[in-house]
Amino acid sequence: MSGFGISSLPEVIPVFPLENAVVLPRGQLPLNIFEPRYLAMVKAAMGGDRLIGMIQPKEDGSLFEIGGLGRITQFTDPENGRLLIVLTGVTRFRIAEEIEVETPYRQVRADYRDFVEDFQAPQPMAAVLRSDLESTLRTYLDTQNLSADWEAVSSADDESLVNTLAAVCPFDVAEKQALLEAKTVPIRAATLCALMTLAQTGAENGSGMVH
């Protein structure tokens, strides 16, 4: 994302633990904020660098090691006790440690060094992988009784398509985490194909919607 590099990112960031929600580099994540602690977090971020870390919680309340750092690029206050925001992904991060804070929201010390590729042009996908992704998506959506704007799908660049699908497809926490942690766009695309195929198999075996 333009204007950002590892050296310009904060060492300590606020985090929003939320299941099934990931923000990938240059991807977007809309959020409806209503809990008081996260309203406070968003307002603090808006008064500073607008950066928030999205991280998935585990069942025991601890956090996964890797999350996504996003910048608030849209902000709406409907004056009903909620805030509507859109995060645009900057980079992934690894939690170095969770720190003790007096804020109502959690904060962590973030390590970005494993994700320098998030600031570089994405690795291109082979044409056969792109074709496989689109055909697998068609079958997956049919089995889930969902539809898509196929003109938009076909015209989207590889990274935008892959990261949008990773964000919006109804995968479970572990599957979303696998997509987040995939090192490159082609690896993430291959992971998407595998997850959609697995979901199709479950539906065809009579289990209905897998998730």
pLDDT digits (tens, 9 = 90+) for 99-108: 999 999 999 9
Which residues make beta-bridge pairs with 52? 70
What does the pLDDT read at residue 146?
85
- Calpha distance 115→95 (Å, rounded): 13
Strands (E), the chain: 12-17, 28-33, 51-55, 66-76, 83-99, 107-111
Spell out the SS3 assignment of 185-205.
HHHHHHHHHHHHHHHHHHHHH
pLDDT at site 206: 58
3: left (phi over 0), alpha (psi -120 to 50) or beta: left
8 Å CB contact between 21 and 56:
yes
Assess contact for 31 and 78: CB atoms under 8 A: no
76: amino acid identity, one letter: T
Ranges of each domain in the chain: 6-119, 127-207
Helix (H, G, I), strand (E, B) or coil at 19: coil
Protein fold of 6-119: 2.30.130
- Cα 16 to Cα 136: distance, rounded to the nearest angstrom: 32
Q: How far is CA 107 from CA 8, 31, 51, 87, 96, in A?
A: 18, 19, 12, 17, 11
Backbone angles phi and psi of 121, in degrees to 5: -60, 135
Q: Which regions of the chain are under pLDDT 70?
A: 1-4, 203-211
